[in-house]
A = this chain, B = another copy of it.
Amino acid sequence: MMPPDTPSIVLVRPQLAENVGTAARAMMNCALTDLRMVMPREDWLADKAIAAASGAEAVLRQARAYDSTEAALADCHRVYATTARRREMIKPVMTPRHAAGVIRDAAGRGERCAVLFGPERTGLENDDVAMADAVVEVPLNPAHSSLNLAQAVLLVGYEWFQAGIDRPPVELSASGAEKADRAMLMTFFRHLEAELDACGFLRNADKRPGMVRNLRSLFGRADLTVPEVRTLHGVVKELRWGRRPDRPKRVEGGVPTPWAGDNEE
């Protein structure tokens, strides 16, 4: 028996072994492992299925086939049917995101959940949908909403996986480099500004305070690390004191070349 905390994926009458394989791969992507099939047409351990599973062979090996949807669902407490079109049935229709939360909550109470997916071209029959507590419908472009089997499994599994992780929506990639502290930043700012004073970039006394603020703000936004601040010290030093090419010539008409820096507006 699988632990009830991961929902079962039930493929009803899947037609092609490759599609069972790619569905198994999508399950593995989302840490889902309990694959059930109702009357699969082909052998889900055929070479083409295992190749399509692309590393998720274990999911195929422990998959089970059943003679009926009812038999596949016997030990399940909650059943969700994925459909691409509305049926003449009165049932709650949920987004995969909402269903993911409901499934997580139910698993927390020890209830086993299953999600039904229909055959590749035709989708679930109404008798299968009738066995479900709710319908799961993926909100997609209404003009082109059909998904292949593995993609439908992936989107439902993806939402289930997201509902179970506690990951910050945005973080700075951990390079191991220490973030520069304010003292280090200020030392760099003073180095930069001293050289900009010396080379004449900040010679306009009225504009100087605003320009300094803008430069500090620009570098401040970058969330600099210690090695990056060291690199910037080197950049400033070499720009000011390194070897110089011939001075760029102004083109005819007095338009400066783009890199002949100037602080006139």
Contact = CB atoms under 8 A, between A and B. Distances in A.
A141 interface: yes
A51 to B, nearest CB: 13
Q: Which of A56, A90, A165 gathers most chain B CB within 10 Å? A: A90
Interface in A158-176: 158, 161-162, 165, 167, 169-175
A140 to B, nearest CB: 5
Interface stretch (A24-32, A181-189, A207-215, A252-260): A24-32
A55 B147 CA distance: 11
A141 B173 contact: no
**How many protomers of this protein does the assembly include?**
2
Contacts of A140: 29-31, 158, 161
Interface of A: 25-26, 28-31, 54-56, 86-95, 97-98, 134-135, 138-141, 143-147, 150-151, 154-155, 158, 161-162, 165, 167, 169-175, 177, 223, 225, 228
19 contacts: A28-B143, A29-B140, A29-B145, A30-B141, A88-B175, A90-B177, A90-B228, A92-B170, A92-B172, A92-B173, A93-B170, A94-B170, A95-B169, A97-B162, A98-B169, A134-B170, A139-B162, A139-B165, A154-B155
